[in-house]
Structure 1
């Protein structure tokens, strides 16, 4: 791989950055969440059905980054599912998420972090059960936009060439955040003992995702909410505000690193509840 190619891949690899791999509590698996949902009838205070909340992670992480948020929502009676993200490409990952959404009955709220946002934007399009989208320091692209283009639209990301390792796999290349900078760049407000585990368990994203164009955005027809992480060193807050405003999202801001759902789980869960209550 040439130096120029490495720099091109690197400049946007922040775009695939997403939620943490570990948080307090046990890992919430999709099957466990579905089983819990099927075992109980969940209703709102007015007697209506509570929507199922689908939590979408992205690269450098797994679904356990949502644990603290999921715990709060489950305690409040919401069915929750946090499916795995293949992290192989925008089109493939979006199709996978869409296939999961298609198996779920009743109203849905899809909440996504970072790279997961482009998947929610594509996968929810045309699904009449999806009643709300919640973006948590996440990408909310318009049709034809790429992660690389949005991530570099505003200055401020600290994920540069020295921050990543690249490892080939088959005909592709995966990107990993280096241990020396993981906490500072990705999760500066999370305890080091936790970020050490997050780094160890990070799942990489295929760098080909960076320049894959997005499809027709679901936020044009589905109401959206956005949690802006002001202290984000991966996806600049200015980019988050731009996407939130363009989508007409109800927006709140918190002082948090890129992994806002770990650093600010109460605020994140509250925003999801607001979306679910619409």
Structure 2
């Protein structure tokens, strides 16, 4: 009897929403019989976001593969460590921080990454009167930074549906790292100006990840959904064996 397919949990990154996965990834997985859950990432910081993700994982029976884009990589790294249901991790243009490291450490460990110059900083006030800062990406910078190979009509939707990430989320260090004990796959976008190529290579070597290289911008789930699906299938076969 063929083993049941793992549930695929999709986790978006900063300044995104769950519609990132609707450009073919969700439909392709469902067509191939995979149960799919799409996590609406709060974008408040790895501790909070991972806690919410764990609450979703608690509702799932059977094996799980976590798939992340961008900042979502920090969240699955934190959330997937102590859940035995999580069998594999896929990082699609995502950072893979270690314990004590933040997403910012992955952006700036090596020269070449440029995120801050495109950021629009938006102050906000919490109920207790303290203040914080949200980040969105300037509309005129979004395409070059995050989606250089995305059609104009789709790019306009991505800009319009931005969700703010708390700037503190990018500097919050992780307290656990699932890739140290679980297999990982890195889909590496060779045309990504956000994360330096040296960082992608450093992270993959450190985690002993399976690496798939793409001539893609940062927006891998939008530009190469079929590749994301193929890598998910590879991971599913690997963790089932």
TM range (shorter): over 0.9
Which has the higher mean CA deviation after the structures are superposed, 120-129 or 229-238? 229-238
Structure 1 residue 244, shift from structure 2 partner = 1.3
Correspondence for 1:226: 186
Match for 1:196 among 149, 156, 163? Answer: 156
Match for 1:114 among 70, 74, 80? Answer: 70
| Structure 2 Cα separation of the partners of residues 185 and 211 of structure 1 | 20
Correspondence for 1:205: 165
Aligned residues: 232
Structure 1 residue 158, shift from structure 2 partner = 3.2
Q: Is the 8 A contact 2:146 2:218 kept in 1?
A: yes
Q: Is the 8 A contact 2:96 2:106 kept in 1?
A: no
| Structure 2 Cα separation of the partners of residues 245 and 260 of structure 1 | 21
**Which residues of 2 match residues 244-263 of structure 1 at below 5 A?**
244-263=204-223
| Structure 2, unpaired ranges of 5+ | 126-130
| Structure 1 Cα separation of the partners of residues 119 and 182 of structure 2 | 35
Tell whether 2:56 aligns with 1:100: yes
1:42-81, CA deviations, whole angstroms, 9 ceiling, x for partnerless residues?
xxxx521100000000111111111211111110000001
Correspondence for 2:13: 58
Match for 1:136 among 73, 85, 92? Answer: 92
Q: Is the 8 A contact 2:18 2:38 kept in 1?
A: yes
Correspondence for 2:233: 273
**Which residues of 2 match residues 66-215 of structure 1 at below 5 A?**
66-67=21-22, 68-161=24-117, 163-170=118-125, 171-215=131-175
Correspondence for 1:5: none
CA RMSD of aligned residues (A): 1.1
| Structure 1 Cα separation of the partners of residues 194 and 140 of structure 2 | 15
SS in 2 for 1:82: strand
| Structure 2 Cα separation of the partners of residues 137 and 63 of structure 1 | 16
TM-score by length of 2: 0.93
| Structure 1, unpaired ranges of 5+ | 1-45
Structure 1 residue 153, shift from structure 2 partner = 1.2
SS in 1 for 2:39: coil
Q: Whose strand proportion is higher, 1 or 2? A: 2
SS in 1 for 2:186: strand
Moved over 3 A (4+): none
